[in-house]
Structure 1
C-alpha cells in the first residue's frame, strides 16, 4: 500500500506545481471494476493512466461543485449531488478514504439530474462568503477570486456533466478518489 500511495503521489507531484487536493474519476465497466477491487496496483495504474473520455480530473473544483449541487460541505442531499461525493466505498484508503464507485443505475440517474441543472442555477447558489465559512476547499479562494472562481466551478461542472453523460451512455461506472499532494 505504501508503494501504491508513493507512486500516486509522485505522479501527481510531477504534474502539479503546487500542493493541492484533487479529485479524479475514471469510468469502467463491471468486469474492469471487479479486477480493480482485487488489485491495488492495477487500480492505481488505471486511475492515473486512463485519459480521454473515460477520465476526468476536477482538480480543486471538486468541493466547490459539490457545494453548489448540495448546499453543504460534505452531505449528499440530491441525486445530482451524488456526482462528486456519492457512491459506495471499495478497496483500501488511498489518501482521503477508499475509492468510491457509482452503480450503473445511479450513473444514469445522476446524469439525468445533472442535465436538468443550469449554469444560471449554479451561479445563484455561488456564495463566496458562505463557502469560506463552510471551509469549502480551497477555502481562501472564493472571496479572493470571486467571478473567476465561479467560472472555474462552472467549467468543471460542464466537464462533470459530460463525463456522467458518457458513462451513462456507455453503461460505465465511475470510480473516484481524492488525493492530497504535498
Structure 2
C-alpha cells in the first residue's frame, strides 16, 4: 500500500464528530483524488502533512515547539517523507524528531484526532494537516531540534495564552479523546 492509499483509507475511516470536520475530510479526499502527488511538498497546490500533539496526561501538560520559521508555538509536525509508510509514521516520526523523545512516545489509539487546513504564505497554497496525539512516557526528556527556537511543556490551561486557535482546538479534541478512554 502506498502512502497515498493509506491517507485515503485513514481519511475515509476518520470520524471528526462535526459537520466542519466531515466537510474538511471531503476536501482532503477530493484533493488526493485530483493530485496523485498530494502527499508531497512538491505539490504546490497543497499537500498533506502529519502532526502530533505530545501530551503528558498524568501531568496535564502538552509539549509545544516554538517553530523556527513561523515563530509560533505549535504541535510537532511536518511533511511526509519517502520512507514514511503511513500517516501515523509521518506524525510519529515528526513528534520524535521535534520533541527529542525517541523512546516510549506512542500515538493515542483511534486514528487522527482532527484535521486542520491552513495556508502557508510563500511556500505552497495549503497544508492539509492530519493531526494525531502522542502520549509521552512518564520519564520523557525533551530536546530542542534544529527546527525549533524553543521547546517547552505547558499546562493545559496555559495553551490558549501562547498558541493559536488551531492548537487549542487540537488540545480540546485530544482531551476529549483521552476522557472517552
- Same fold at TM > 0.5: no
More strand by share: 2
TM-score by length of 2: 0.28
TM-score by length of 1: 0.28
Structure that is richer in helix per residue: 1
The structure showing larger relative contact order (alpha-carbon pairs under 8 Å, at least 6 residues apart) is: 1
